[in-house]
Chain A
């Protein structure tokens, strides 16, 4: 297991299109988190899963955003009808307790 893997690394999409990102956590980790980071800012919490259950969603996560973690393994984050304000780095992290292991992120550019 080489850590948390995120795909794709980069995504450029036109405004109004849907995009989906994937995160493969460390296999022993039961918690999985999604964060969004814009330039010069710290990561902002979006949502987290314990196993397959989505336990909390940020108010930042509008109705256009949805996340799933089927069977408590990998997770997907989908953004529908993308807007230019969605341009950011989307980070996934996993944890078995305290302290996160982050993936390298997916950089989304909406043009």
Chain B
């Protein structure tokens, strides 16, 4: 079963615009991560936010976490065609928090 649900399922924007993806999850978490996957490839770790953090930045990425609403958002600013990919949120659950459960992903298409 998948813990996280991303919204929207698909997003199409123009280069230069900002892209916002949301993730909701069901159970308590130790931390939340975002990954990117280019078509037919493995996933690449983007950013991790701990359960006691509310916001985190990395380059053009901004992640927020609201544990009271069990939700997170990923903002990509000034998007580029190379940002076209699927984006997944993932939560660490289980004993020791070392099992990561992924959502179904948001497919982002950035038009040049």
Q: A70 an interface residue at 8 Å Cβ cutoff?
A: no
Residues of B close to A99: CB separation below 8 A: 33, 45, 48
Q: How many A-B residue pairs have CB under 8 A?
A: 57
B101 an interface residue at 8 Å Cβ cutoff?
A: yes
For the complex, would chain B's binding face be called helix, strand, loop or mixed by DSSP majority?
A: strand
* Contact A4 B102, CB 8 Å, known A42-B88, A98-B31: no
Q: How large is the interface on A (under 10, 10 to 19, 20 to 34, 35 or more residues)?
A: 20 to 34
Say if the beta carbon of A105 comes within 8 Å of chain B.
yes
Asked whether B41 lies within 8 Å of A105 as measured between CB atoms, the reply is: yes
- Enumerate chain A residues within 8 angstroms of B99, measured Cβ to Cβ: 45, 48, 56
Q: What's the interface size class on B, roughly?
A: 20 to 34
Overall SS of chain A's interface: strand
Q: How far is the CB of B91 from chain A (nearest CB, A)?
A: 11
A53 and B100 alpha carbons, distance in the complex (Å)? 18
| Contact call A91/B42, Cβ cutoff below 8 A | yes
